[in-house]
Structure 1
């Protein structure tokens, strides 16, 4: 009997695949992405206090200063209305302004030049090896650590016309006798008061500047100077052609900081002479404070001028620094 083959069993048709649905936006934000955003924002935790401090100490006072410079403010401190640029016009009409600006230029140029020259020499000395070098370096910190106002008071006492140490010493060695006088009013005479204040400003500026230059000197590898000596260069030639060019960044930073500090210097002048007699020993900083006693708006206008001068100094520094880098 012949077997009949069973018909093939056809496979059941496959069901169509369900279409893929995109995940909602909330699901697409993976935990890794959230961690990445948190990581990028993490530095704000550390620099946030610094930004807040700059905003509170620098930006906010600057905004208030600009607002005050265009307002009319009475002696009682209440705003009486807008002034436009009238405060600046009154400032430019001040008879003492030209002398104050010229004196400020002399003050800044003289103090900064003396500080840089003296600090460069001291840094060279302290970079050498000699007995007691560590003690000498520590002693240099004393004028820097002391209060500027306290130092100014000490010098004011020493320059007292009656019993100051300097007058007593000059009298004992016969210097004052040669000028037929028993006492010299150093701070009462503008011709002598300004030089003495420049001496004090230089005295308190030397420590920081010396340490800044000394740090630059110690960063110069010994191999550089040794290679120059092997090439036959003299000590002076090595200093001019090798040491000073490498030391230029430290010198520029020290120069910038000194210019800004001396330009804004207030305690020395105010403590020693209060800008007097009259405005004869005032700089723009003390002149600004003196104007405050009579016209707050005009004083604010003077502070704007001071602030603009600082900005100009910083821009000049950045330009010089960029030019020096391009030259290298």
Structure 2
């Protein structure tokens, strides 16, 4: 047999060098870069470039028309931290995010458990649940403005007809009701996404695990607590993280429902940033950009802390 060949029993073929075998299935870096180029261009254009421009704007001075007039250094950041309404805005942000996300998660768990069962008309109910998600946030928020209206809102009309209230409630003008009214809308628009995330998680739970728990005598609450919830942990993590980001950055709901109120009494950091640039007396674009940088850092810190807690719990249960 000639040197450099392999006898297969039926035919003789050249031996493949080891180096060539190692390269089989590998993609050249330039080819991989070519395939990734559209995504990289999108990330550079939509994420990195605006982030760089935002940081540059946060260190600049601007005229009332938005033209850059000079450098401000770190002065804009100092002005944001020294703003008298900042504590109120931060408190509103915490209440808004925690209340909407917590109640959304709790309600979605129950709704998803119901919609995961087989019953007549389940498809229609699922379609109805997804409608608030498909609708524009501006349209939904404006609809609730009409529902909450002091004089002609249907909510006040129904509550008076049921004799639950004796006089109309100013849901959007009374400081005691404004945040509550906005949280209700936030939960309403957050439910569809969260419900379908949990439905997907419930459908991924193996049926044989549930059957085995029934055979072992586990009750409904025990099955839900010790089997369903632990197996739903990935879905819970995804739903919580994404809802925190979405709710934190939810501008249309807060602005539409709270636009009639002066000052920053019911604003969160996202509408606070907008009002600094376009609604305040100063109309300070640089200060608004600095507040935007703080917003990005704040949401990154919150998500990082949550992921660290989840990972620590997952390690503890192993």
TM-score band by shorter chain is 0.7 to 0.9
With over 3 angstroms needed to count, the CA separation of the structure-2 counterparts of 1:32 and 1:216, relative to structure 1, is: closer
How many angstroms does 1:37 deviate by?
A: 8.2
Partner of 1:83: 72
Q: Distance in 2 between matches of 1:135 and 1:58?
A: 38
SS in 1 for 2:55: helix
How many angstroms does 1:175 deviate by?
A: 3.2
Q: Distance in 2 between matches of 1:156 and 1:199?
A: 12
Q: Distance in 2 between matches of 1:310 and 1:47?
A: 28
Q: How does 1:247-258 map to 2 (within 5 A)?
A: 247-258=232-243
Aligned Cα RMSD in Å? 2.2
How many angstroms does 1:324 deviate by?
A: 4.1
List alignment gaps of at least 5 residues for structure 2. 1-19
Partner of 1:72: 61
Partner of 1:126: 115
Choose which of 96, 99, 102 in structure 1 pairs with 2:88: 99
Deviations 1:110-147 (A, max 9, x none): 00011000000001111112111111111111111111
Partner of 1:28: none
Contact 1:152 1:272 in 2 (8 A): yes
List alignment gaps of at least 5 residues for structure 1. 1-30
Choose which of 284, 288, 292 in structure 1 pairs with 2:277: 292
Worse-matched range after superposition: 298-307 or 126-135: 126-135
How many angstroms does 1:168 deviate by?
A: 1.9
Q: Distance in 1 between matches of 2:36 and 2:108?
A: 34
How many angstroms does 1:33 deviate by?
A: 11
Worse-matched range after superposition: 286-295 or 231-240: 231-240
Q: Distance in 1 between matches of 2:164 and 2:211?
A: 50
How many angstroms does 1:313 deviate by?
A: 2.4
Partner of 2:99: 110
Worse-matched range after superposition: 96-105 or 221-230: 221-230
Choose which of 225, 237, 242 in structure 1 pairs with 2:227: 242
Q: Distance in 2 between matches of 1:82 and 1:253?
A: 41
SS in 2 for 1:232: coil
How many angstroms does 1:46 deviate by?
A: 3.1
Q: Distance in 1 between matches of 2:177 and 2:206?
A: 45
Q: Distance in 2 between matches of 1:34 and 1:239?
A: 50
Contact 1:275 1:286 in 2 (8 A): no
Q: Distance in 1 between matches of 2:199 and 2:260?
A: 35
Q: Distance in 2 between matches of 1:155 and 1:122?
A: 22
TM-score for both structures, normalised by structure 2: 0.87
Choose which of 184, 200, 221 in structure 2 pairs with 1:199: 184
Worse-matched range after superposition: 219-228 or 313-322: 313-322
Partner of 1:47: 36
Q: Distance in 2 between matches of 1:239 and 1:36?
A: 45
TM-score for both structures, normalised by structure 1: 0.84
With over 3 angstroms needed to count, the CA separation of the structure-2 counterparts of 1:89 and 1:275, relative to structure 1, is: farther
Contact 1:275 1:282 in 2 (8 A): no
Choose which of 211, 215, 227 in structure 1 pairs with 2:200: 215
Corresponding pairs, count:
295
How many angstroms does 1:277 deviate by?
A: 3.2
Q: Distance in 1 between matches of 2:35 and 2:176?
A: 51
Q: How does 1:125-274 map to 2 (within 5 A)?
A: 125-177=114-166, 181=167, 183-274=168-259
